[in-house]
Amino acid sequence: MRTNSLPDVRPVSDLRQNMAEIMESIDTEKRPVILTKHGRGRYILLSLDDYNQITALSVLYEAIDEGIADIDAGRVSDFRDFANELREEMKNESIQN
């Protein structure tokens, strides 16, 4: 999704009358369409690829926030300690199998 493109703003009645053209515009111009109702933005239409990208970024930002909260709360460990624990777990699993 291009972040520097301004969305296309249309009244919701345009969707009923020009659905095919609006969908084509979303695909070709790679920008969302904001639908207004009574002159105010009410709905947004965007491609599935753009939606998936936004969703993935949201998940990433949540994970970053959780990591920062862990750091702030002191829930951290040295990488070497983590790697050694992981090696031990993998070694124990291979012995059991």
Residue 88 lies in a domain: yes
Q: Given pLDDT bands bounded at 50, 70 and 90, which one contains residue 60?
A: very high
Residue 2 lies in a domain: no
Q: Which pTM was predicted?
A: 0.65
**How far is it, in rounded angstroms, from Cα 91 to Cα 97?**
10
Instruction: Please give the C-alpha separations between residue 10 and each of 30, 40, 95, in angstroms, as whole numbers.
Output: 16, 10, 65
pLDDT tens-digit series, residues 62-91: 999 999 999 999 999 899 999 999 999 999
Residue 55 lies in a domain: yes
| Domain boundaries, position 79 | 8-96
Residue 59 lies in a domain: yes
Residue 83 lies in a domain: yes
Residue 13 lies in a domain: yes
Residue 25 lies in a domain: yes
Residue 46 lies in a domain: yes
Of residues 29, 31, 24, the one with CA closest to residue 46? 31
Domain total of the chain: 1
Domain CATH code at residue 60: 3.40.1620.10
